[in-house]
Structure 1
Amino acid sequence: MSSSEDSPVQPLTERGARTREKLLAAAREVFEERGFPDTRIAHIAERAGVAYGSFYTYFPSKQAVFLELADRLFAEMTDRRALPAGRSPAARIRRANRAYYEAYLRNARMMAIVEQVATLDEEFQELRRKHRAQSITRTARALRRWQRDGSIPGDLDPELTARALAAMIDHSLYLGIVQGDDPTGTERLLDTLDLLTHRALGLPSETGGGAVG
């Protein structure tokens, strides 16, 4: 997919904007039902209730639709604006991990398709790397702040630590939610991720835990 070819044509009217959102919602449903390779533009147009040719008024390809859906998905998954400020690192970790779990659960079917497309498309891989880098940068910034105030050891590399913790949490949730491989139950899984994060950062043990935020 080329970025220049796949940039969607922006509708100029309110009606056009509504139609475009209908296509996005329909595309997500179809992707989740059929998977990315087996989805056709005709499926999306039919689900949205628009003519086949109308699809191309808003998107040049099914890849372009998927890229926009993925961009929105990644933004939602890493949105931490609702997290309270001024709490202890351990408490913020617990709250952030549970917020991430809830977002993952809401988007489980789409996350399965994300893993599918990640092996197929270079442009999607770049989009995924961009969002992951933004999330890791925010986490590393929090770790540096905690190092400055003496909450966690100063000899930890903030960026590498952020990457390692993100990989642990992401893969654990993928196995538990998408693959259904979670014999322990949700709360035990989250509490274990919390505890592992606390110990990795040298924080005092508290009930619960989570992703750094």
Structure 2
Amino acid sequence: MNQHDHAGDGTTRTRRTSDRAADTRDALVAAALDVFGEIGFTDATISEISRRAGRAHGSFYTYFDSKESIFREVIKRINREESDRREAKAERAPDDRAPTPEQRIARTNDRFVETYRRHARTLAAYEELAARDDETRELRRATRLGYIERSVGSIERWQADGTVDGSIDAEAVAHCLGSMVERVAHMRFVFGDGPDDERMMRAISDIWCATLGLRADEGRTAALASAAERQGDQS
């Protein structure tokens, strides 16, 4: 065996070690996602997360220095899942035409609300932790600004083509409408307060359309279609 063979063996061992480390880290994050979703941040323990992941308690600290740090990774995973769903849909209407503003709004809101429904306990804890932890606050702010910037971009494109009134303050409206959707989802899925899901999504669509001067009837139709499409994907 020559020196190149030895080098190859070393590379293989390094790759295997790296793969095992990645697997362990992923297992811990997946377990934390389940634990935080079931019992929230406050009652979750590193011991329980490690147990669910099938890893020794001490191995946790190889990858994360605190419960807060793995919680932030869980939030990043939730954000990636939402982003992946957005990309999978490719923002195309069923007949391959570009989606109308009403359709785009309905799909975006449906994705966000569905994410909140699936992860309500974790996202409620996210708000609480962001109020007292600087790193979590910055992640929360960056996540929200990404959503707002996409909304601003859409509103400005619709203003440019004459679909939406050009005098509307796109940034301020995006912040206000985004905050409305966030709070409605929070109250609905954390506290069980508010109308049933179908009425809630119709009302959200009505408010967006009324604010932007879009057609309410098309917005309601799009909201129902988005919900039906999502339910079909889940079946």
What interval of TM-score do these two structures reach, taking the shorter chain for normalisation? Answer: 0.7 to 0.9
The answer to whether the aligner puts 1:84 opposite 2:92 as a matched pair is: yes
The answer to whether the aligner puts 1:69 opposite 2:93 as a matched pair is: no
Which residue number in structure 2 is paired with residue 204 of structure 1?
215
Distance 1:96 1:35 in 2: 26
Q: Is the Cα–Cα contact under 8 Å of residues 37 and 120 in structure 2 kept in the other structure?
A: no
Q: Is the Cα–Cα contact under 8 Å of residues 78 and 135 in structure 1 kept in the other structure?
A: no
Distance 2:69 2:217 in 1: 44
User: CA offset at residue 60 of structure 1?
Assistant: 1.9
Select between 32-41 and 149-158 the one with higher mean Cα deviation: 32-41
The answer to whether the aligner puts 1:161 opposite 2:173 as a matched pair is: yes
Structure 2 gap ranges (5+): 1-15, 224-235
Deviations 1:172-204 (A, max 9, x none): 11111121102x211111001101110000112
The answer to whether the aligner puts 1:15 opposite 2:23 as a matched pair is: no
Which residue number in structure 1 is paired with residue 188 of structure 2?
176
Q: Which has the higher helix share?
A: 2
Distance 1:75 1:125 in 2: 18
Q: Is the Cα–Cα contact under 8 Å of residues 37 and 119 in structure 2 kept in the other structure?
A: no
Higher relative CO (Cα under 8 Å, sequence separation at least 6) belongs to: 1
**Counterparts of 1:75-114 in structure 2 under 5 Å?**
75-77=80-82, 80-81=86-87, 82=89, 83-84=91-92, 86-114=98-126
Distance 1:50 1:95 in 2: 39
Match of 1:149 among 161, 179, 182: 161
Q: Is the Cα–Cα contact under 8 Å of residues 159 and 165 in structure 2 kept in the other structure?
A: yes
Distance 1:104 1:41 in 2: 24
Identity of aligned residues (%): 39
User: CA offset at residue 103 of structure 1?
Assistant: 2.0
Which residue number in structure 2 is paired with residue 51 of structure 1?
56
Match of 2:205 among 182, 194, 200: 194
AA at the equivalent of 2:177: L
User: CA offset at residue 157 of structure 1?
Assistant: 1.0
Which residue number in structure 2 is paired with residue 26 of structure 1?
31
Distance 1:78 1:174 in 2: 20
Which residue number in structure 1 is paired with residue 196 of structure 2?
185
> Greater CA radius of gyration, 1 or 2?
2
User: CA offset at residue 41 of structure 1?
Assistant: 1.9
Taking only aligned residues, the RMSD between alpha carbons, in angstroms, comes to 2.0
The answer to whether the aligner puts 1:135 opposite 2:135 as a matched pair is: no
Q: Is the Cα–Cα contact under 8 Å of residues 175 and 181 in structure 1 kept in the other structure?
A: yes
User: CA offset at residue 87 of structure 1?
Assistant: 1.6
Q: Is the Cα–Cα contact under 8 Å of residues 90 and 206 in structure 1 kept in the other structure?
A: no
